[in-house]
Chain A
Amino acid sequence: MLTLVIFATLVGFMFLGVPVAVSMGLTAALTFVFLGEGFVLTMVAQRMYSSTTAFTLLAIPFFILAGNLMNTGGITRRVFRFALALVGHFRGGLGHVNVVASMIFSGMSGAAVADAAGLGLVEMEAMTKAGYSPRFSAAVTAASSTIGPVVPPSIPFVIYGSITGVSVGKLFLAGCTPGVLMGIAMMIGVYFVSRRRNYPKERMASFRELVSSANEASLALGTPVIIIGGILGGIFTPTEAAVVASVYALFLGLVVYRELTVQDLPRVLWDTLLHTLRVMFIISAAGFFGWLLIHQRIPEQVITGLTALTASKWGLLIIIIFILLVLGCFLEGIAVLVITIPVFMPLIALYNINDVQFGVIMTLCSMLGLLTPPVGMSLYAVSSISGVPIGPLTREMWPYLLGIFMVLLIMTFFPDFSLWLPNLLMGP
C-alpha cells in the first residue's frame, strides 16, 4: 500500500512537470513528514552527497566527454565513411550504414543522446541527400543510437555497477553480444523496410577503398581497445579508463586530425557537463529516495507481493521486465534505473538470477524506454534535430523496437548469450 502511494506521488509530481530529481527528493521528504518521521530528513544532505561522490560515477562525465570529443574532432565522418565502405552496397544502403556507424561509434561513447545528436546529424544529412524519407532516416538514427549505451563504454552499466557493486568490467563485456545482436536486428528491419519501399543502394566499395577507409578510422577504433583492454588487464579502473579515453580523443582531435581547436573546447566541455549534471543531480536525489525505500522496507514488501504471484525465475523476470517497460514509458531512463535497482536486487539474489545478466536486462529495458513516448529521450532528441514530429516517428519505429525487444527476450531466457564473454575473459 505504502509502496503504491509513494510511487503514485512520484509519478504525479513528474507528470506535473516538476524536475525529475526534485520529484524524487520531494516525494521522499513528504513521505517521511507524513509518517511522522521528519527527523530522518537530516539524512537528505548526507545521502545526496555520498551518492554523487562515488568514484565509479566519476566515469560518467569522462565517457560522455570522450564521445563528444570524437563527435567534434572529425572522427564521426571517418567512422561514417568506413561504415559506408562496409555495408553501403546492401539494399537501403545508408540505413545499414547508419546502424553500423552507430555500432562502431558506440565503442567510444557511453550515452545514447550524444550519439543521436552528433553522428545522427551526419547520418540523417547523408540519407536525406540520397532521397530517403526523413521519417525513415530519423527512426533508424533514433533506434541505432540506443546501441551506444549497451556496447561498452556505457553509462547505465556504470550506474548499475556503482549501486550494486557488480564489476563494471564484467558488465561492459556482457554488453558486447547484445549490442551486436541489436545492430543485426536493426539491419534486418532496415532491409525489409527498404525492400518494400525500394530504397537505393550505394556503389560497392572496392577493396582498396575499404582498406583505406578502415585505415583512416583505425585510430578511432583504438578507443574501445584502450577502455576494455585497460580494465580487463587491471591497468586502470573504469573511471580511469574513461579519463584515458578522453585524453586519447583530445589527442586525436587536436594533434592527429587537427579538426578540433582549443576554441572548441569550452563548448564541448559545457555540452558534456550539461548532460552529466542532469544525470548526476537525478542520481543525487535518488540517493535520498532510495534511502526512503530501504528505510520503509519497500523491497521486502515487493518481494512478498511478487513471490505470491510467481514462484518461478522466468515468471519473475517477465513481471520485472513488464514493470521496467511501463516505467520506461513514463519516467526518464536513469531515474528508472536508480529507483528500481535497490528494489529488485534482493529479489534477484533470492531467485538466484545472475546479477550481470540482470544488469544487461535492465539496460536493454531502459533503451526501449528511450524510444517509447510519452517520455523517450532519444526519440525527442532525434525528433527535434530532424524536424520529424513524434507521432510519425513513433509509427516508423516499430520494426526496430521489435528488434530490440527480441534481443531483450534472448538475453532474458538464454543468460549464456550475455555471460559467455565475461566468463571467458574474467572467470565466472
Chain B
Amino acid sequence: MKRMNTMTRFLVRFDHYLISTLRWLTLACFVALLILLAGIVFVRFVPVTSLGWSDEIVEWAFAWMVFVGAAVLWRDNEHFRVEWLPNRLKAKASGKVLGLAVEALSMIFLAIMTYYGLKLTVAAHDRSPILELPRHIWYLCIPLAGMIMIAYSIRNLIGRVLEVRHSVFSWKAQKRHTRSRATGQSP
C-alpha cells in the first residue's frame, strides 16, 4: 500500500512537470513563429539581413506546436468531440462503459499514428537542404505526441475501469441492500 502511494505520488509529480514543459514548448513555438514571420516581413522592407534559413525553422516550429500541443489538449480532454450521447448517459453505468469504449477506440488510432510516425522518423535520414539537419527532428513530434497521448489514455482507461468496477459493485451492493431491506420489512 505504501509503495503504491509513492508510485502514485511520483506519477502525479511527473504528470505536472511533463505537462508544464509541453505547454511551455508549445507556447515557445508559437512565439517563435510570431517573431520569425514578423521578422521576415520586416526584412522585406528593411533588408538588413536575409532570413532564407528561416523556412525550415518555421516548418519545424509549426509541426511541433501542432502535435505537442495536441498532446497537451489530449491530457486535458479538450479536443473537439460530440458530447451529446456521453452527456446523456453520464450518470448511468452504460455511460461509463461508453467512456471505456471511446478511450479504447482512440488508443487504436493513436497506436497506429505512433507506430507509423516512428517508422517515418527512423526512415527519414536525409538532411534538410538549407540547415543540413537530419529530417528526423521534424517528424519526431508525431511519435512523441502519440506516445504521450497513449500514456494519458492508459491513465484514463485505468480510471474508467476502476469507475466501472466501482459502479457495478455499488450497484450490486445497493441491490443487496434494498433486497435485504425489502425482506426485512415484509412481515
Contact = CB atoms under 8 A, between A and B. Distances in A.
B27 A22 contact: no
A36 interface: no
B80 A20 contact: yes
Contact of B69 (A15, A18, A273): A273
A58 interface: yes
B82 A45 contact: no
B84 A52 contact: no
Contact of B27 (A15, A43, A269, A374): A269
A16 interface: yes
Given A20-B79, A29-B109, A243-B37, A277 B116 contact: no
B152 to A, nearest CB: 13
A58 B38 contact: no
Interface stretch (A142-150, A280-288, A406-414): A280-288
B63 A52 contact: yes
A17 B109 contact: no
B41 interface: yes
Contacts of A20: 79-82
Given A26-B108, A278-B78, A278-B79, A16 B102 contact: yes
Contacts of B139: 45, 49
Nearest to B101: A16
B41 A240 contact: yes
A26 B80 CA distance: 15
B105 interface: yes
Contacts of A247: 34, 38
Given A45-B120, A281-B73, A52 B66 contact: yes
B57 interface: no
Contacts of A21: 70, 79-80
A415 B161 CA distance: 56
Given A19-B81, A240-B40, A243-B38, A281 B109 contact: no
Contacts of A15: 82, 84-85
Interface in B113-148: 113, 116-117, 119-121, 138-139, 142-143
Contacts of B101: 16
Contact of A26 (B59, B73, B98, B105): B105
A16 B66 contact: no
A52 B138 CA distance: 12
B70 A48 contact: no
B70 A277 contact: yes
B119 A243 contact: no
A235 to B, nearest CB: 8
Contacts of B63: 49, 52-53
Interface string A309-338: 000000000000000000000111000000
Contacts of A211: none
B82 A375 contact: yes
Given A29-B108, A49-B142, 10 more contacts: A15-B84, A20-B81, A25-B112, A45-B120, A49-B138, A52-B66, A244-B38, A273-B65, A273-B69, A375-B84
Closest 8 CB pairs of A and B: A45-B117, A19-B79, A17-B86, A26-B109, A277-B69, A45-B120, A243-B37, A281-B70
Interface of B: 23, 26-27, 30-31, 33-34, 37-38, 40-41, 44, 58-59, 62-63, 65-67, 69-70, 72-73, 78-86, 98-99, 101-102, 105-106, 108-110, 112-113, 116-117, 119-121, 138-139, 142-143
5 contacts: A22-B106, A49-B138, A52-B62, A53-B62, A269-B30
